[in-house]
Amino acid sequence: QQQVKQSPQSLIVQKGGIPIINCAYENTAFDYFPWYQQFPGKGPALLIAIRPDVSEKKEGRFTISFNKSAKQFSLHIMDSQPGDSATYFCAASEDAYGNKLVFGAGTILRVKS
Amino acid sequence: DAGITQSPRHKVTETGTPVTLRCHQTENHRYMYWYRQDPGHGLRLIHYSYGVKDTDKGEVSDGYSVSRSKTEDFLLTLESATSSQTSVYFCAISESGRANIQYFGAGTRLSVL
């Protein structure tokens, strides 16, 4: 049973659009929520991360929104570009050091030019 | 890929044979991890290490063993490979401390026939 449920499985947007990827969890002990980006043939790479004491975090065109009461968090990509086409994974950890990560199933994003 | 080398990059083997995958790092990071990546499951932690000779199980450890005799090397062994272990295996490393970041290798594609 997936501890972190991610949706949608795949997403196609036009260049400049704002894709939104959602994740939900049940374990209230989770306290670290990173997002990873993976290009074909490569390993995942950390994109942005948030802790539950804040409701939003922005880094460049990437924003995480976090709703602790609903146990949901989401990734928004502003002004999406074809180079953002990749697979995105949300993850969570109850280890304060973020060591034992539990990943969502992934979302394949395609940004059309 | 952050000073991480996985070998081999590709391997085809037969059911019942032993297989060892190697992860070598040049970053002197304390933590090392083995994940498997399968469609619909994202990445799942197999085992991780928090120091030389210190290892612990992840969520899908059955059928796998690990060893870490040196800081830089983390070996994953499938004692008797099964078709269900066909997957892409990723090694990751991280330093200790809060707001941890895991750096992933390029992966090993294993096919068990």
Q: Tell me the per-residue pLDDT of A54-97, one tens digit each, with 9 for 90 and over.
A: 999 999 999 999 999 999 999 999 999 999 999 999 999 987 66
pLDDT attached to residue B96 = 72
Question: What are phi and psi for residue B83, nearest 5 degrees?
Answer: -60, -30
Q: How does residue A18 score in pLDDT terms, banded at 50, 70 and 90?
A: very high
pLDDT attached to residue B43 = 96
pLDDT attached to residue A98 = 64
pLDDT digits (tens, 9 = 90+) for B59-69: 999 999 999 99
Mutate to test the interface with A, among B34, B100, B101, B109 (most CBs of A within 10 A): B100
pLDDT attached to residue B97 = 63
Q: For residue A89, which residues of chain B lie inside 8 Å, CB to CB?
A: 42-43
pLDDT attached to residue B107 = 97
Phi-psi region of B13 (alpha: psi -120 to 50; beta: other; left: phi over 0): beta
Q: Which two tokens stand for residue B40?
A: 């619909």
Q: How does residue A100 score in pLDDT terms, banded at 50, 70 and 90?
A: confident
Residues 40-69 on A with a CB inside 8 Å of B are 41-46, 49, 51
Q: Which two tokens stand for residue A83?
A: 């180079």
Closest CA to A80 of A98, A107, A62, A68: A62
Looking at per-residue pLDDT, the higher value among A14 and B96 belongs to: A14
Could you tell me which residues are beta bridge partners of residue B56?
B48
Contact B75, B68 (CB under 8 A): yes
B34 near A CB under 8 A: no
What DSSP string runs through B10-67? EEEE-TT--EEEEEEESS--SEEEEEEEETTTEEEEEEEEEETTEEEE-TT-TTEEEE
Residue A43 to residue B102, Cβ atoms within 8 A: no
Per-residue pLDDT of chain B (113 residues; tens, 9 = 90+): 569 999 999 999 999 999 999 999 999 999 999 999 998 899 999 999 999 999 999 999 999 999 999 999 999 999 999 999 999 999 999 987 655 789 999 999 999 99
- Chain A residue at shortest CA distance from B93: A99
Contact B45, B59 (CB under 8 A): yes
What DSSP string runs through A37-79? EE-TTS--EEEEEE-TT-SEEEETTEEEEEETTTTEEEEEETT
pLDDT attached to residue A99 = 78
Total length of chain A: 113
Beta carbon pairs, A and B, within 8 Å = 65
- Chain A residue at shortest CA distance from B10: A41
Cα A37 to its chain centre, rounded Å, is: 8
pLDDT attached to residue B100 = 74
3-state secondary structure of A109: strand
pLDDT attached to residue A22 = 98
Q: Give mean pLDDT, residues A28-36.
A: 92
Residues 86-105 on A with a CB inside 8 Å of B are 89, 96-105
Residue A1 pLDDT exceeds 80:
no
Closest in B48, B99, B107 to A43, CB measured? B107
pLDDT attached to residue A97 = 64
